[in-house]
Amino acid sequence: MLLTRHHTFTRPIILGLTIVLLPGGQLVKVKENNIHQAIRSKSENILTHDQLSTETTSLLKLLSLTPQQCSAEFETCLKRLNTQTDIAADERYAALSELYLAQALELSKQRNCTQAQPHSENNHCLEQSLNAFDQSLRYSYVYLFKMQESPSTRVFDQRQMHVRTFYNVALSRLITTAYRTQPFHQIPAQLNVQQRQYIVNLEHYPELKSKTIDRVQSSYNLNFSGFYQVNRQDGLGAEFVVVAEADPIHKNDFILDPTSFY
């Protein structure tokens, strides 16, 4: 405790100190970055710059792995990460969430996925990416809600913000990918992903229960224009736009639009 005297009163000031202990013989380079680089390095992850976050990369270094090696030998990388006993559980789950999400996004870029026909039930690439999104979603959920620390105690934790975004994006992409692999023309009561079930609750949207669906699209990364205001609610979950099938055009005895008629 550091005491600062001023005139007739004493005010205690508590200083928070961070002490870094380096093992003997370890060569460490220190470089001062500008404020923009420092902030960017703390917020970068697989979704912002197509590279793993600093936290996940550092965890891989403990296993003597690089992100490239982990991507090339994905199953081996996962096994080593899961069997390393001196890694904290929350760090492991956060890293696994990002690694599975990175794998799913990489699979989604492959030609077999991008050129797959809608409602292609037997497309192996889409099934693999669907499974990876599912795993990312589940590890994110465990990190957020099944650890000793509650989300409220980590409210200012940058890593929790990362994982929350991983959860939202994984859920968004899982639903849209499932729509491509599992044909449905009405919102189903549940989705089956790798022998796991996702329950769809339409309690607040009863009009969608009987609607014939033309397309399901995530609005997580859509930009709406032409509105005075777009209401969005930040938090956990993903946003979707359901495009209903157009009503058939009935013939009319009257010419309602002369321009198109003639």
Q: How many residues does the chain have?
A: 262
Is the Cβ–Cβ distance between 15 and 2 less than 8 Å? yes
Report how far residue 235's alpha carbon sits from residue 41's, in angstroms, rounded to the nearest whole number: 23
192-229 pLDDT, tens digit per residue, is 887 889 998 888 888 888 888 888 888 877 777 787 87
Of 128, 142, 97, 141, give the one whose Cα is nearest residue 193: 128
Is the Cβ–Cβ distance between 90 and 149 less than 8 Å? yes
Tokens representing 203?
A: 């309690």
Q: What angle do CA 188, 191, 196 make, to 5 degrees?
A: 155
242-259 pLDDT, tens digit per residue, is 888 876 666 666 666 777
Confidence of residue 235 (pLDDT cuts 50, 70, 90): confident
SS3 content of the chain, % helix, strand, coil (to 5): 45, 10, 45
Of 50, 151, 37, 21, give the one whose Cα is nearest residue 94: 151
Q: Which pLDDT value is given to residue 119?
A: 58
Confidence of residue 9 (pLDDT cuts 50, 70, 90): very low
Report how far residue 172's alpha carbon sits from residue 231's, in angstroms, rounded to the nearest whole number: 18
101-141 pLDDT, tens digit per residue, is 999 999 999 888 877 665 555 578 889 999 999 999 999 99
Report how far residue 143's alpha carbon sits from residue 104's, in angstroms, rounded to the nearest whole number: 19
30-56 pLDDT, tens digit per residue, is 778 788 777 777 789 999 989 999 999
Sequence-separated (6 or more) residues with CB below 8 Å from residue 223? none
152-201 pLDDT, tens digit per residue, is 898 889 999 999 999 999 999 999 898 888 878 888 888 888 788 999 88
Q: What is the mean pLDDT of the chain?
A: 83
176 CB neighbour count, 10 Å cutoff: 18
Q: pTM of the predicted model, to two decimals?
A: 0.78
The 10 Å CB-count burial string (b at 16+, else e) for 73-96 is ebeebbebbeeeeebeebbbbbbb
